[in-house]
Chain A
C-alpha cells in the first residue's frame, strides 16, 4: 500500500484553518478582538515568509482552549466547521483524495496546525490518519502546552518517521502534496513530491527539480 500524504492548509483547503480559527474566536467574542486579530495576522505573515516562531505561535493559539470543557470546545468546533471550514474545502482536493483512495493508497494528512483544529477536518475529508501538532491533554483537559514535536518544517519529517515506525509502513512509491516551501524537508523525502498552488519559493524549487505543479483551485 502506497502512502498519499497531503498538507492541509492552502492545499486541500482554499485557506488556512489555523488562521480561520483565530478569526472565528474573534468573531464569536471568545478572545479580545483587536489584539488577537493583529497577533494572528502577524503570525500568519511570519509563516508565509518562513519566519514563524512555532513555539510562540502555539502558545498563542492554544491559550483559548486551555482549561475549557470538551463539550464547550466541541460546540465551538461544530460552529467553526460550518462557518469557516466547509466553505473552503476544495472540490478538486476531495476528488484527488478519492482518486488515491480508489488506487488503494493510504491517505494521510500532515499539518502544522494543531490536532484540536484539524482533527474534525480530517474526519470530514475521510482520510485514514492525521499527523498534527499535538496539544497537551491531561485528565481530559487541554493545558495550553504542546506535547512533543510540532509537525512544522523538519518537524514533519520527524513526526512522519515516528509514525512510520509505529505503523510499520514505508515511503516506497509515496506522494506528498503541499503548497508551501515550509514543507521542503518532507517533499525531499518522498518518492513523488507534488507542488499544489505553490508559493513562489516552492514553485522555484519544483521547477528546478522537475516536480509536478498542479492546482486544486477553481
Chain B
C-alpha cells in the first residue's frame, strides 16, 4: 500500500471525550433530552505522514553523514596525518549531530510499535568506560587495545558491548569519539596513535609479540571494525523509516487515529522526558568545567550542544504545518482541540528554543542550564495537559491522575 493511498484509506475520524455510555444512549423518550456531548474529531493521517517523512529525512541525513565519516576514517587509516585526523573528527561531529536529529523519531523500546531490537544502544551507547578500551590519563597500558587476548572483529566487539555492564561500551559513536579525541580535552589524541607498525623491535620479538599485536595496529583495526558496525546499525535504523518498506511506514497507517496520534505525542513526550530532561539537561550529567559540552554526553569532543539544536529543530518542524501546504503538523490537531492549548504548546517550544539556543551560542553556566531545565519541564507539563484532553496517557503519573 502506497503512502498516499494509506492516507486516503485510513482518513477515518475518531471521537474523543464526553461520549455517552450505553445506558445514556438508551434514554427513555419520556425523559427530557440531554444536551449532545461535546465531540472532538480529528484525522491523524496527514500528521502521521508528516512525521514519517521527517523521520525518513532525519535518518537519510544521518546515513549520508555516516558514509562521509566512513570515508574519512578510511582516508585517516590510509594516510595518518594531522589533517586527516581533523577531517575525521569533523565528520564524526556531523554524523553524530545528524543522529541527534533523529531522537524525536526514536520510539524508545518502551513503545516501539514494531517491537524488535532497539538500535540506540549500539549506535549511541553512553556513557562509556574508556579505560576498558584504550589508554587514559595515568594508565598508559589500559584497555583491550593493549591486550591481544581479545581478537578484534565485529562479532567480538558486539558481544563485548554491554557484556557485564551497560557502560561497557565497545561500539557506537561514543567509543569512536574516545578513539578520535582521547580522554584529555587539553591534550587530544595524537595522530601517531594511528600510524601502522610493520616491524617489531628485538625486545618485542623476544617477548613473543606479533606485528598485529602492536597497540597502533590494534587501534587501527578497532577503528575500522567499529565503523563497519556503526554503518550497519545506522543502515538498519534508517531502513525502518524508508517508504514502501514493511516497517513503520506501512505498519503505522494500519493503526486507528488515536493510536497514530498517541505514538506521535508519546515520541515527543519521550524526547522531552528521556532525551532532554533525563539525559542532556540532567544536573547529574553536567560538567560545568567543560564550557563547550552541554552534558557529559559527547564530552570528549565537547559537541553535545549542537546536537540539541538539531534535535529541537526537528521537533519544531514536526509541530508546525508548512505555511503553504496542507495542515499536517501536530498543531493541526491541537488547534482543533483548543486554541489556547495550541498557543501554550507553541509558547513552551519557543521558550525552550530560546534557552537551548542560549546554551549553544554562549558558554553555559548553572543559570542558563536552570532556565533550559525549567523550559523543558514546562513543555513536559503542557504535553501532559494535552494528553489528558485527548485521553492519551503519556506516563504513569498521568494515568494515575486520570483515574
Interface residues of A (CB under 8 A from B): 54, 131, 134, 136-139, 147-150, 152-155, 157-159, 161-166, 168-172, 185, 187-193, 209-211
Distance A165 CA – B103 CA, assembled complex (angstroms): 14
Contact across chains for A161 and B278 when beta carbons are under 8 A apart: yes
B199 vs chain A, min Cβ distance (A): 28
- The segment from B75-83, B161-169, B241-249 found at the interface with A is B161-169
Q: Which 8 A-B pairs have the closest CB atoms?
A: A148-B127, A155-B284, A138-B131, A165-B121, A157-B278, A188-B397, A170-B110, A158-B278
Contact across chains for A187 and B396 when beta carbons are under 8 A apart: yes
Q: Could you list 22 A-B pairs, sorted by A, with CB under 8 Å?
A: A134-B167, A136-B129, A137-B131, A138-B131, A139-B139, A147-B127, A148-B126, A148-B127, A149-B282, A149-B296, A155-B278, A157-B278, A158-B282, A161-B278, A161-B279, A164-B108, A164-B118, A165-B118, A168-B118, A171-B110, A189-B395, A210-B403
Contact across chains for A154 and B131 when beta carbons are under 8 A apart: no
Distance A128 CA – B283 CA, assembled complex (angstroms): 29
**Is B260 part of the binding interface, using a Cβ–Cβ cutoff of 8 Å?**
no
Closest residue of chain A to B277, judged by CB? A154
Contact across chains for B278 and A147 when beta carbons are under 8 A apart: no
Contacts of A189 in B (CB 8 A): 273, 395-396
Chain B 380-402 interface 0/1 with A at a Cβ cutoff of 8 Å (1 = within): 00000000000000011101110
Interface residues of B in 367-381 (CB under 8 A from A): none
Contact across chains for B296 and A165 when beta carbons are under 8 A apart: no
Q: With A147-B167, A190-B396 as given contacts, are A154 and B283 in contact (CB-CB < 8 Å)?
A: yes
Contacts of B285 in A (CB 8 A): 149, 155, 158
Closest residue of chain A to B129, judged by CB? A147
Contacts of A185 in B (CB 8 A): 278
Centre residue among B112, B136, B274, B277 by max chain A CB count within 10 A: B274
Centre residue among B109, B125, B139, B395 by max chain A CB count within 10 A: B109
Interface residues of B (CB under 8 A from A): 108-112, 117-118, 120-121, 125-129, 131, 136, 139, 141-142, 162, 165-167, 273-274, 277-279, 282-285, 296, 395-397, 399-401, 403
B341 vs chain A, min Cβ distance (A): 21
Contact across chains for A155 and B110 when beta carbons are under 8 A apart: no
Distance A107 CA – B276 CA, assembled complex (angstroms): 28
Contacts of A211 in B (CB 8 A): 400
Closest residue of chain B to A154, judged by CB? B282
Distance A157 CA – B273 CA, assembled complex (angstroms): 9
Contacts of A165 in B (CB 8 A): 108-109, 118, 120-121, 125
Contacting residue for B279 out of A158, A168, A193, CB 8 A = A158
Closest residue of chain A to B283, judged by CB? A154
Other CB < 8 Å A-B pairs besides A136-B131, A161-B279, A209-B401, 5 of them?
Answer: A134-B167, A138-B136, A148-B126, A148-B296, A166-B162
Contacts of A193 in B (CB 8 A): 396-397, 400
Contact across chains for A149 and B284 when beta carbons are under 8 A apart: yes
Contacts of A187 in B (CB 8 A): 396
Contacts of A155 in B (CB 8 A): 278, 282, 284-285
Contact across chains for B129 and A168 when beta carbons are under 8 A apart: no
Q: With A138-B131, A157-B274 as given contacts, are A162 and B121 in contact (CB-CB < 8 Å)?
A: yes
Contact across chains for B400 and A153 when beta carbons are under 8 A apart: no
Contacts of A209 in B (CB 8 A): 397, 400-401
Contacts of B403 in A (CB 8 A): 210
Contact across chains for A148 and B396 when beta carbons are under 8 A apart: no
Q: With A139-B131, A168-B109, A211-B400 as given contacts, are A163 and B284 in contact (CB-CB < 8 Å)?
A: no
Distance A170 CA – B270 CA, assembled complex (angstroms): 13
Distance A2 CA – B340 CA, assembled complex (angstroms): 39
Distance A138 CA – B166 CA, assembled complex (angstroms): 16
B279 vs chain A, min Cβ distance (A): 5
Contacting residue for B284 out of A131, A134, A150, A192, CB 8 A = A150
Closest residue of chain A to B403, judged by CB? A210
Contact across chains for A188 and B109 when beta carbons are under 8 A apart: no
Distance A153 CA – B277 CA, assembled complex (angstroms): 11
Contact across chains for B131 and A166 when beta carbons are under 8 A apart: no
Distance A134 CA – B129 CA, assembled complex (angstroms): 10
Closest residue of chain A to B279, judged by CB? A158
Contacts of B111 in A (CB 8 A): 170
Contacts of B117 in A (CB 8 A): 168
Contacts of B162 in A (CB 8 A): 166
Distance A110 CA – B15 CA, assembled complex (angstroms): 41
Contact across chains for B166 and A149 when beta carbons are under 8 A apart: no
Contacts of A150 in B (CB 8 A): 284
Contact across chains for B278 and A164 when beta carbons are under 8 A apart: no
Distance A153 CA – B118 CA, assembled complex (angstroms): 25
Closest residue of chain B to A138, judged by CB? B131
Contact across chains for B400 and A210 when beta carbons are under 8 A apart: yes
Centre residue among A138, A150, A155, A172 by max chain B CB count within 10 A: A138
A39 vs chain B, min Cβ distance (A): 21
Distance A190 CA – B398 CA, assembled complex (angstroms): 11
Distance A162 CA – B168 CA, assembled complex (angstroms): 12
B31 vs chain A, min Cβ distance (A): 34
Contacts of B296 in A (CB 8 A): 148-149
Contacts of A157 in B (CB 8 A): 273-274, 277-278
Distance A150 CA – B296 CA, assembled complex (angstroms): 12
